Amino acid sequence: MDFQYLFELLCGGIVKGSIYALIALGYTMVYGIIQLINFAHGEVYMIGAFVAFIVAGVMTLSGYSGLTVLLLAAVVAVIYSAAYGYTLEKIAYRPLRNAPRLSPLISAIGASIFLMNYVQLAQTPDFLPFPELVPEFEFMAPIERYLSSADLVILIVTTLTMAALTVLIKYTRIGKAMRATQQDLVMARLVGINVDRVISATFIIGSVLAAIAGVLIASRTGQINAAIGFVAGIKAFTAAVLGGIGNVPGAVLGGLVLGIAETLGAGYISSAYEDVFAFALLVLILILRPAGLLGKAVKQKV
């Protein structure tokens, strides 16, 4: 047994998993409140990455580079993803709030297809290299085999983001309103919470997290394309389901488990079937334990 190899895979899995976790949070928060699989969430992530790519691309071609550019690109990406997430909810989901359950889901699929093709047409369907913005930290040299500088940035940023999210949900006004709405939307409305605003805020927060994930992953893999949102979206959704959809810590746990499972599968079995492991895990969890690892089984009200 090659423990070094295993450890290498584990580190890779955790890095990958923390990205999944960031995207999964968006799914889980939206699902928790309006019971909708926001199918277009992966597209919001992709748009975040693409906007960052455009900013970073223009900047690097004008001669700037380094972490500052990455930061600036990330800020613009976050603003744009948030704006897209907000608009998406207003157009594609809000008019369907009281429609039969499948309607918003079909609308979400339509929105996802639309956004993907919109970026493809406005930009390009090809893969483009993402500028290298994370410098090689010298102190990382000894453990570079396990964790690159970009990986380190990912781990730090995701940890900080999740901490911030926890504070937001636990202690702020909007966070409390979100929790109340998640428990009982009708009741929350009755006690004077502006539910529409809470839902918008949820989409915005989810989109911000997705944008951060998009920028991080693009700067790590070093390439970008309009179709990256689709697969990342499904995997993040898998992570959300794995942890128990609607459950915020569950999404993080699910992301990590999925990331590790995928890397181990790819490392020990076959990298060509990497995506199959994720999907198979999704199918298995839904069949065996649809409430997820941390979720509680909910009895449907009759």
Partner 1 sequence: MAENKRSKLLEVRGLTMDFGGLRAIDSVDLDIFAGEIVALIGPNGAGKTTFFNCVTGIYEPTAGDVLIHPPGGVSRRINGMKPNRITALGMARTFQNIRLFPAMTVLENVMIGRHCRTATTIIDAILRSRRAVREERETVDQSYRLLEKVGLADSADEFARNLAYGAQRRLEIARALATDPFLLLLDEPAAGMNPQETSELDELIVRIRAEEQLAILLIEHDMKLVMNISDRIYVMEYGKEIAQGTPREIKENKKVIEAYLGEEVHA
Partner 2 sequence: MAHLKRSFGIGLWFMFLTLPLVVVRVNTLSQEVQWRWSNLLWVGVGAFAIAWFWQFSINRRAAGRASTVADKPSLAQRLADDPVLSRRVLLGAAAVAIVFPWLVSTGQNFYHVNVMVSALIFVVLGLGLNITVGLAGLLDLGYIAFFAVGAYTYALLSKNFDLGFWTCLPLGGLMGMLFGVILGFPILRLRGDYLAIVTLGFGAITKIVLENWDTLFGGAAGLANIPRPELFGLLLDGRQKSVYSYYIVLALVALTIFVTNRLKNSRIGHAWMALREDEIASVAMGVDMARTKLSAYALGAFWAGLVGVVFAAHNNFINPDSFTFMDSAMVLAMVVLGGMGSILGVIIAALALKLLPEYLRAFAEYRMLVFGAVMVLMMIFRPQGLISDTRRKYDYDGADGANGEGDHGGK
Using CA atoms, how far apart are residues 46 and 27, in angstroms rounded to an integer? Answer: 15
Query: Tokens for 228?
Result: 């990256």
Using CB under 8 A as the binding rule, the residues of this chain from 212 to 271 that contact partner 2 are: 230, 234, 237-238, 241, 270
Residue 283 CA to residue 241 CA, distance in Å, equals 10
CA 70 to chain centre: 19
Q: Are 116 and 226 in contact (CB under 8 A)?
A: yes
What is the contact mask toward partner 2 in residues 31 to 60, using x (rule: CB under 8 A)?
Answer: -----xx---------x--xx-xxx-xx-x
140 is a contact residue toward partner 2 (CB under 8 A): no
Q: Tell me how far CA of residue 296 lies from CA of 6, 12, 42, 235, 247, in angstroms.
A: 33, 30, 26, 22, 9
Residue 299, contacted partner among partner 2, partner 1, none, CB below 5-8 A by kind: partner 1
Cβ count within 10 A of residue 192: 7
302 binds partner 1 (CB under 8 A): yes
Q: Residue 155 has which token pair?
A: 């781990």
| Phi, psi of 224, rounded to the nearest 5 degrees | -150, 155
Q: Is 213 helix (H, G, I), strand (E, B) or coil?
A: helix
Residue 22 or residue 108: which is nearer to partner 2 going by CB? 108
Q: Minimum distance from CB of 89 to partner 2 (Å)? A: 12
Contacts for 118 with CB less than 8 Å, ≥ 6 apart? none
As measured in angstroms, the least distance from the Cβ of 115 to partner 1 is 31
27 contact choice in partner 1, partner 2, none (CB below 5 to 8 Å, kind-dependent)? none
Residue 67-106 contact track with partner 2, rule CB under 8 A, x = bound = ---------x---x--xx--x---xx--xx--xxxxxxxx
Residue 61 in the binding site for partner 2 (CB under 8 A): yes
Determine if 125 is a binding residue for partner 2 (CB under 8 A): no
For residue 247, the minimal CB distance to partner 1 (Å) is: 15
| Identity of residue 299 | K
* Those residues with Cβ within 8 angstroms of residue 238's Cβ, 6 or more apart along the chain or in another chain: 20, 254, 258, 278, 279, 281, 282, 285
Among 24, 34, 78, 119, binds partner 2 (CB under 8 A): 119
List contacts with partner 2 (CB under 8 A).
Answer: 36-37, 47, 50-51, 53-55, 57-58, 60-61, 76, 80, 83-84, 87, 91-92, 95-96, 99-107, 109-119, 121-124, 128-131, 230, 234, 237-238, 241, 270, 272-273, 275-276, 279-280, 282-283, 286-287, 290, 300, 302
